[in-house]
């Protein structure tokens, strides 16, 4: 008569029991992430203030330029946060949940591009001396002569394409693969749009 050795768990063909669930992410992480986002925006605004954001304004053109710089800094901050959201970091997904994370992603995405467009418009108006007839010449001069501005223009176009294809009516006409590929251009857009702030 054969001897029985080993435990039931070691015998082939027997179930080992359900796998342990991954450790839960504390619910307060989502609130903490939101607080950190607002804190980063406040830090950016504080840096703008301490570097002459208000005190250097001596006229209407300076006001446009200064506000343009503020909106550009805020847009850059949100774009970096958007990159983190797109990276699909596991603990971030678990903290927010798929539905809430998608809503945050959409809000931050549209908000960052709105600030980016405001930045472009305000800077052009400020650099043109708030003169209507000088808007186009100023725009072409900035793009052609200022460091990394052509890269910023191309990056802005990529980001706008991502936003347009994210509108529900446009997204419904795209295959998922095409929409996902288009979204990857957001990384390239961020990479190209940021360097001009270093000069």
| pLDDT surpassing 90 at residue 47 | yes
> Could you count the other beta carbons within 10 Å of the beta carbon of residue 60?
12
| pLDDT surpassing 70 at residue 9 | no
Structure token digits, residue 162: 């991502």
Instruction: Let me know if residue 93 belongs to a domain.
Output: yes
How many domains does the chain contain in total? 1
User: What digits encode the pLDDT tens for the residues 69-109?
Assistant: 999 999 999 998 988 887 777 777 777 777 888 888 889 98
118: exposed, middle or buried (Cβ count in 10 Å: 0-12, 13-18, 19+): middle
Instruction: Let me know if residue 194 belongs to a domain.
Output: yes
Instruction: Let me know if residue 142 belongs to a domain.
Output: yes
| pTM for the predicted model, two decimal places | 0.81
Instruction: Let me know if residue 61 belongs to a domain.
Output: yes
């Amino acid at each position: 008569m054969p001897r029985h050795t080993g435990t039931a768990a070691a015998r082939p063909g027997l179930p080992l029991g359900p796998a342990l669930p991954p450790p839960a992410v504390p619910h307060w992480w989502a609130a903490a992430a939101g607080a950190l986002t607002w804190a980063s925006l406040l830090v950016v605004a504080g840096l703008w203030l301490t570097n002459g954001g208000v005190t250097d304004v001596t006229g209407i053109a300076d006001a446009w330029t200064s506000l343009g710089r503020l909106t550009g800094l805020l847009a850059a901050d949100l774009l970096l946060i958007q990159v983190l959201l797109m990276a699909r970091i596991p603990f971030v997904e678990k903290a927010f949940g798929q539905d809430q994370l998608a809503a945050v992603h959409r809000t931050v995405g549209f908000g960052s591009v709105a600030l980016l467009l405001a930045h472009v418009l305000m800077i052009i108006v400020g650099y043109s001396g708030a003169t209507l007839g000088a808007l186009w010449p100023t725009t072409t001069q900035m793009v052609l002569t200022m460091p990394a501005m052509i890269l910023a223009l191309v990056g802005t176009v990529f980001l706008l394409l991502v936003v347009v294809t994210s509108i529900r009516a446009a997204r419904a006409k795209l295959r998922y693969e095409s929409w996902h590929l288009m979204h990857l251009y957001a990384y390239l857009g961020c990479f190209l749009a940021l360097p001009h702030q270093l000069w």
